[in-house]
Structure 1
Amino acid sequence: MTIRDDTTGKVRFAVVPAAYVFLLRETAVGSTEVLLQLRQHTGFMDGHWAAAAAGHVEAGETAYDAAQREAHEEIAVDGLALEFLTSMQRTAGGPAIDERIDFFFTARDWRGEPRITEPDKCADLQWFALDALPDPVVPHELVVLEGIRTGGVAAYTTHGFG
């Protein structure tokens, strides 16, 4: 969404913040797995695999608190030991520009067994090895997952800019 500055006439972006949680676990053979959900009926990237828990940051809420809330609402886990991973500024580009800021967290410790709590929006929930991700994964999330796999996630990343 864009807004016009009344004093200068410049177009400014109304940035939409979101929080993402990648639950990670180690396997008996020493590889790392990530929990992903298969999106359905959301109107955005349906049929793509995505972070098990993610959503918009509400007014007056921190991204950290949003990550905790989304994990509780979407996969029924609480008490996540969240580790901040990266912030990503992204855009869809084109004439209807959409600016977003995404805050990505990982968690290796939580309470509860992850399960689907919103079956109308989530068709499946599965663990995948970081070196054997399903296809397709939401593109900007795939960038972050590849960074986790290779150990090369910068504190600030961008996606969709020329």
Structure 2
Amino acid sequence: MIVTDRFRLVPAAYVLLLRTGPRGEEVLLQLRRGTGFMDGHWAAAAAGHVEEAESVTRAAVREAAEELGVVVDPADLVALTAMHRTRATGLPVDERVDFFFTCRAWRGEPRAAEAKAADVRWFPLDALPEPVVPHERWVLDQLARGAVPPPVSEFGFTPDGRRPTVSS
């Protein structure tokens, strides 16, 4: 029996390329454009949906190649947090689980390899540009403080763990 009325989450993989730069710990971010979601915001330079029959690790490797033109070895990905988040719209597309990885080794020079990035730049973790996609900013702020986000995190829910009600 196939069940079609269950609650569903959209999975995504995020790769935070990190390096020690002239201004300390740095992260590579992209300026979003033409995507319909958070355009004009800075975001993880490599991120995207997990495709059908694809593991989250393979999705992270694929996104780094597609968006930045770099080759990442899955062994160089370090799991950071799995974030369950909601945009509280009630739409299934706005119910997410995001898998964040850090990566400090890759082959190739990162560049904007897709039109959806207006710019790609390195920023010190303690001097991020504005605006940054809010749920990603939360993760980056944790790293800037030297904290490790919890293995499972939540974003967009009320303190009691419920999805906020959206009024029209």
For residue 109 of structure 1, what is the aligned residue in structure 2?
105
For residue 38 of structure 2, what is the aligned residue in structure 1?
45
Question: Does 2:84 correspond to 1:89?
Answer: yes
Runs of 4+ in 1 over 6 A off after TM superposition: none
For residue 119 of structure 2, what is the aligned residue in structure 1?
124
Question: Does 2:64 correspond to 1:68?
Answer: no
Alpha carbons 2:27, 2:123 under 8 Å: kept: yes
Q: Counterpart of 1:147 in 2: which secondary structure? A: helix
For residue 18 of structure 1, what is the aligned residue in structure 2?
12
In structure 2, stretches of 5+ residues that fail to align are 159-168
Q: 1:146 is aligned with what amino acid?
A: D
Question: How large is the Cα RMSD of the aligned pairs?
Answer: 1.5
Q: 2:101 is aligned with what amino acid?
A: F
Shift of 1:23: 0.3
* Partner residue of 1:134 out of 123, 129, 132: 129
Q: 1:108 is aligned with what amino acid?
A: R
Alpha carbons 1:79, 1:111 under 8 Å: kept: yes
What TM-score do the two structures reach when normalised by structure 2? 0.86
Question: Does 2:73 correspond to 1:77?
Answer: no
In structure 1, stretches of 5+ residues that fail to align are 6-11
Q: How many residues align?
A: 152
For residue 59 of structure 1, what is the aligned residue in structure 2?
52
Shift of 1:14: 1.3
Shift of 1:152: 3.2
Identity, in percent, stands at: 57
For residue 144 of structure 1, what is the aligned residue in structure 2?
139
For residues 27 and 134 of structure 2, the distance between their equivalents in structure 1, rounded to whole angstroms, comes to 16
Alpha carbons 1:78, 1:112 under 8 Å: kept: yes
Alpha carbons 2:17, 2:102 under 8 Å: kept: yes
Q: Counterpart of 2:122 in 1: which secondary structure? A: strand
For residues 42 and 123 of structure 2, the distance between their equivalents in structure 1, rounded to whole angstroms, comes to 10
Q: 2:47 is aligned with what amino acid?
A: A
Q: Counterpart of 1:13 in 2: which secondary structure? A: coil
Q: 2:83 is aligned with what amino acid?
A: M
Alpha carbons 1:13, 1:99 under 8 Å: kept: no
Shift of 1:18: 0.2
